[in-house]
Structure 1
Amino acid sequence: MIQPDDQRDREMVDLPVRRLGLAEPGDADLTRSIAIEAPVSVEVGGIAYAVMMATPADLDDYAVGFALSEGLIETADQIGRVDVHPIEGGFALRIWLPPERNAIALERARTRVSESSCGLCGIENIEEVLRPLPPVTARIGTDRSAIATALASLRDHQPLGQATGAVHAAAFCSPAGQILLAREDVGRHNALDKLIGAMARTGVDPASGFILLSARCSYELVEKTARAGCPMLVTVSAPTSLAATRAAAAGLTLVALARTDSALIVSDPHGMIA
């Protein structure tokens, strides 16, 4: 296991590979940067809570975003401390909460039935999966040009993606489409949790803009966006059926298949997109 010394060492590693010519002739020995994927053991109050496969960079942001998305905390200042330690085979991410929040984590840990980054951690039945989301009450004034602006600049905020071609990005954008903050990870859920955590830690209000994701839109991403209080989610790939219905029910504006030439408005219940 790589023992990281800085941010880059937690994001990527150089690997010798051999290029095989297919449509184009010419084989070659190369060195390729590849994204690091490692097990991250999440512990809350000393209790084993989950094991995620993630890019082990920006784990302080991830800890806050994960705790918010899981409902373990309501605000970032409810986290007392976050410790990150390299361990044999991966990383330990230790989140320390006050006693009243620890009780919530303990109850969730007791009922946990799966360990994944899919958003189903600790869910026992279908009714709990489909429980109503908090209504999205925030509104912004935006338009198609803002979406185009954000898409055009997303690549500039994906240094790890450009280097490896193997990670997702989550970006928070102003109503005009300026990217204010971005995070990357091998998992699209992790990238969004890192972004939500970074916003909470830096005081960026999710209600003041929209989120752009370089991924397909599954229902968990809709849930994380709605629970963060962000009024609009834009994804570069298509949504699932549950993502579409959950977004509409929560009052979340959802734009999918956002490309340079077009996008699909899946849900815009408040007519925010001019």
Structure 2
Amino acid sequence: MTEASRLVPEEVPIAFSYGGSTHAVMMATPADLEDFAVGFSLAEGIIRDVREIVEIESVEAGDGIDVQIVLADQNAEALTSRRRRMAGPVGCGLCGIESIEQATRDVPAIAGNGFVLRPAQIAEAMRALGEGQRLNRETRAVHAAGFYVPGQGVVAIREDVGRHNALDKLTGAVLIGGWLPAEGAVVVTSRLSVEMVQKTAALGSSMLIAISAPTALAIRTAEKAGMTLIGIARDDDFEIFTGSEKVIQGVFHDVS
């Protein structure tokens, strides 16, 4: 047996409070909390535009952090219609919802804007995501989500112990940074479950690329939304599960 030291990521309770009332508590990496607050608020349907948030303040609260969010409309219906009743562990994207309808909710259709990628660009996006994972290089224990814009590369990367949290943080980073969601693709280091599709659709991006495979429900949801879903993207190989018309050439994975 050899003694050694290793860096490991932090995992703490992050509370999201609106108007002084806690809406949800998520276990997450305590970084990029403003991005997290914006992305979470959008994914939950609490806001539709980042300008609806007036102020965000992070306050230490015991062993965790209370992210206090002030909305222009503190009586937003979404605060009461989808208030989470439990803490969300890092592996949970839909914890605390109270009905089947909430879990399987429809996602908005993604307006077609002619956005397409070449296979080389898909490979470039995945390589850049891997190279940009600073925290994961140190710990080998976190997920990442990135936003790829043709001609610019991966313009934003966010990491977290939870894959859903990483995507929420990325969503906030994209909106705060002023990038146009419809002009880029979301790339992630995780499998493609339905909530990853829902969050990408809420952002407004029409393409989601992942290192792993999607679930059947994720495929059906992406197809209904008009989203291109690309999985098992490793090195120069990938499989297209929906929206193959948005990829110039490539290998199509028949899911019928």
> TM-score scaled to structure 1, two decimals?
0.84
Counterpart CA distance in 1 for 2:134 and 2:11 is 16
Give the Å deviation of 1:177.
Answer: 7.4
Which residue matches 1:79? 53
Distance 1:254 1:237 in 2: 11
Shift, 1:137, TM fit: 1.0
Could you say what secondary structure the match of 1:29 adopts? coil
Identify unmatched segments of 5+ residues in structure 2.
249-256
Alignment of 1:116-155 (within 5 A): 116=88, 118-121=92-95, 123-139=97-113, 140-155=115-130
For 2:102 and 2:241, locate their aligned partners in 1 and report how far apart those are by CA, in whole Å.
24
Amino acid at match of 2:132: H
Is the CA contact (8 Å cut-off) linking 1:150 and 1:177 kept in structure 2?
Answer: no
How many residues end up aligned between the 2 structures? Answer: 245
Give, in whole Å, the separation in 2 of the partners of 1:115 and 1:211: 26
Q: Is the 8 A contact 1:149 1:177 kept in 2?
A: no
Of the two, which has the highest radius of gyration? Answer: 1
The reply to whether residue 198 of structure 1 matches residue 173 of structure 2 is yes
The equivalent of 1:20 in structure 2 is none
For residues 260 and 185 of structure 1, do their structure 2 counterparts lie closer, same or farther at Cα, with a shift above 3 Å needed? Answer: same
Question: Is the 8 Å Cα contact of residues 7 and 138 (structure 2) preserved in structure 1?
Answer: yes
> Given that residues 19 and 74 in structure 2 are in contact (C-alpha distance below 8 angstroms), is that contact kept between their aligned partners in structure 1?
no
**Residues 176 and 263 (structure 1), Cα distance of their counterparts in 2 relative to 1, 3 Å cut:** farther
Residue 239 of structure 1 is matched in structure 2 by: 214
Q: Which residue of 1 aligns with 2:137?
A: 162
2: distance between equivalents of 1:151 and 1:87?
37
Equivalent residue runs for 1:177-216 within 5 Å: 178-216=153-191
- Tell me what 2:63 maps to: 89
CA 1:247–1:107 in 2, change beyond 3 Å: closer, same or farther? closer
CA distance in 2, matches of 1:146, 1:72: 34
How far apart, CA to CA, are the structure 2 residues paired with 1:55 and 1:126?
28
| Partner residue in 2 for 1:258 | 233
Which deviates further from its counterpart, 118-127 or 63-72? Answer: 118-127
Contact 2:121 2:150 in 1 (8 A): yes
Please list, as runs of the form range in 1=range in 2, the aligned pairs for 1:22-37 lying within 5 A after superposition. 27-37=1-11
C-alpha contact (below 8 Å) 1:114/1:120 kept by paired residues:
no
Secondary structure, aligned partner of 1:137: coil
Equivalent position SS for 1:31: coil
Does the CA contact (< 8 Å) of 1:255 and 1:266 recur in 2? yes
Give, in whole Å, the separation in 2 of the partners of 1:42 and 1:54.
12
SS at match of 2:190: coil
SS in 2 for 1:30: coil
Q: Please tell me the residue identity of whatever aligns with 1:200.
A: L
Q: Which residue of 198, 215, 220 maps to 1:223?
A: 198
Where 1:35 maps in the other structure, the secondary structure is coil
Deviation at 1:103, TM superposition (A): 4.2
What is the alpha-carbon distance in structure 2 between the residues aligned to residue 160 and residue 243 of structure 1? 28
Q: Gapped runs of 5+ residues in structure 1?
A: 1-26
Do the aligned partners of 1:234 and 1:255 also contact (CA within 8 Å) in 2? yes
CA-to-aligned-CA distance 1:100-123 (integer Å, 9 cap, x gap):
5544313432xx444326342563
SS where residue 30 of structure 2 aligns? Answer: coil
Q: Hey, what does 1:70 align to over in structure 2?
A: 44
User: Which one is further off, 100-109 or 169-178?
Assistant: 100-109
State the distance in 2 between where 1:71 and 1:156 align: 32
**CA positional deviation for 1:28:** 2.5
